[in-house]
Amino acid sequence: MAAVDASLAEWLKAAALYAPATDAGVAAAWGVRAIETEIVSPFAERADAEAEAARQLAFLSGPLVLDRHVVDGQRRDLLGRTVAIDGDDLDYPAGVLAFVIRVEELDGNLTALDVLRRLA
């Protein structure tokens, strides 16, 4: 009798197999206010999914905020990049790192940037 992989039936019933990553610091600090999320990756192997989970959690653990800045120039090239922003408002001391998720070129040679930054 061929050995049957005990997880085979589990997988056959599910959308995928899952590799979790947990941020103990966030869990301790925020408790139930912190959320659990998931996504199905294209990866085939558990090791790749584990590395991916750690990578995604590093980005998402946050808390994150979405800020909209106006900067000089027509800067569509900043989409999808990390930028270091200096500003006078909303607690932007020198060089706060933020990730640009939307660009909109404006009149007057300006660009509106939607950025994600960590609150802490």
Partner 1 sequence: MTTEPSPSPNNSHVVVLVEAGPADARTGAPVAVRLAGGGTRAFDQLGHGDWLAGVAGPPRIVAGFGFAAGGWTGGAIPQTAMVVFSPAERDTLAALARHYWDEAPVRVWTADDGATPALAIDGTVATAPIGPGGLTLTIAGMAAALSRPLVTARFAGTGGLEGDADATGGDKRRSWGRVFNVEARLLRKASNRYEVGDPAFPLQAIPAVRDKGREGALAAIGWQGSTEATLAALEAAEVPRGGAVVAPSIAQLRWWTQPAGPLTVDVLGEIGAGYVETVATIADRIVAAAAGGMAVQDLASADRLRPGAAGIHVTAGETAAQALDRLLLGASLLWIADAAGSVTLLPWAISGALAAEAWAPGAPASPAWTSAGMAPRAWAPAARPERLRSRAVERVATFPPVRSRRVGYRRNHRPHSPAEIAADILAGDVRFPDGATAEQLQPAEAGAQVTRAIAAEVSTIAFALGEDGQVADGQLPRTVRFTATAASANVSREASWSVETTGGIEAKIDNAAESWARGVVTITAVTGPGTITARALVDGVFLAQAISVTTKGALADKSQAGTGDIAAGAVTGTELFSAGDVPVTRTETVLIETPAFRVGDGEYGRGIAQVSFFQDCSTEKDAGWRVRVYVDTGAGFGAPVWDQPQGFRTANGGDTFWAYPTNLPIPIEATGPVRVRVTAQAVAFAGGDAKAGATARYTRVLVFRGAR
- Shortest Cβ 110–partner 1 spacing (Å): 7
Angle at 8 between CA 45 and CA 23, to 5 degrees: 50
Question: Could you say which residues in the range 85-114 bind partner 1, by CB under 8 A?
Answer: 85-90, 92, 95, 97-99, 101-110, 112-114
- Shortest Cβ 61–partner 1 spacing (Å): 5
Question: Could you say which residues in the range 9-28 bind partner 1, by CB under 8 A?
Answer: 9-23, 26-27
Secondary structure class of 46 (helix, strand, coil): helix
> In degrees rounded to 5, what are phi and psi of residue 110?
-125, 160
Note whether 74 and 109 are within 8 A (CB). Answer: yes
Site map (CB under 8 A) of partner 1, residues 33-72, x = contact:
xxxxxxxxxxxxxxxxxxxxx-xxxxxxxxxxxxxxxxxx
